[in-house]
Amino acid sequence: MTAKLYCFGESGNAYKVALALTFSGMDWEPIYVDFFNGEARTPAFREINEMGEVPVLVDGDITLTQSGVILDYISSKTGKLGGKSAAERREILRWLFWDNHKLSSQIGTARFLANFLPEAKRPEGVVPFLHGRLKAAYTVLNDHLAHRTWIAGEKMTIADLSCCGYLFYPEPYGFDRSAWPHIDAWLDRIAAQPGWKLPYDLMPGSPADRA
């Protein structure tokens, strides 16, 4: 059975899931959600996800939302991208929660405000404030990767895919890979995995479609 991923190319949280589906070998197909024209907020979409967000994974009679939950499901179902022990799984979850709170949420907001919201509508001072918080998060991640190949354990896990989700996007939002050498090398290791693609190549929808 082919799983359906409701997504759009600009969504870093959907990209995390798309990578996990690809690397785990699950059979899946992307279902484009026209977020920028309001589809995620329509009554029809809220029947799928009351939160009005992507990603949404529909796998048979199972419907899941929130990227961290979906990543855990993919790992549990396939037996891939997870830890070898309960301790490793807790470490993976620790980094999933950290990413959701400290990294992806900040990047998603900074990137949206700086690239997808008209300048006249951007709240003054918010993007620089987020850049300061992101610098602290990048420091934590870069230092963590200084003497290790992957974030949790000895192989790539869903912790890596969660934390990398927004870092492959081309839009300027204050992140320069060259300033963070251990993150840079880690992203190269992820990109070297079979099946890896950039977000706009892996999922439908991109800023160019709206140009």
In whole angstroms, what is the distance from residue 211 CA to residue 208 CA? 5
The pair of three-digit structure tokens given for residue 23, joined into one six-digit string:
């690397």
Q: In this model, does residue 201 exceed pLDDT 90?
A: yes
Using the predicted structure, report yes or no on whether residue 161 has a pLDDT greater than 90.
Answer: yes
pLDDT at residue 210, rounded to an integer = 86
Mean pLDDT score, 47-54 = 97
| Whole-number Cα distances in Å, 161 to 23, 58, 99, 141, 208 | 10, 20, 10, 13, 25
Give the model's confidence band at 211: pLDDT under 50 very low, under 70 low, under 90 confident, else very high.
confident
Predicted local distance difference test score (pLDDT) of residue 62:
98
Q: What predicted TM-score, i.e. pTM, was given to this entire model?
A: 0.97
91-144 pLDDT, tens digit each: 999 999 999 999 999 999 999 999 999 989 999 999 999 999 999 999 999 999
Q: Average of pLDDT values for 66-88?
A: 97
Q: Cβ contacts of residue 177 below 8 Å, gap of 6+? A: 167, 183, 184, 187
pLDDT single digits (tens) 170-185: 999 999 999 999 999 9
Taking residues 156-183, what's their average pLDDT?
97
pLDDT reading at 154 higher than 90: yes
pLDDT at 186: 98
Helix, strand or coil, per DSSP, at residue 82: coil
**Which domains are present in the chain?**
3-81+197-210 (3.40.30.10), 86-191 (1.20.1050.10)
Q: Does residue 2 carry a pLDDT above 80?
A: yes
Mean predicted confidence (pLDDT) in 7-31: 98
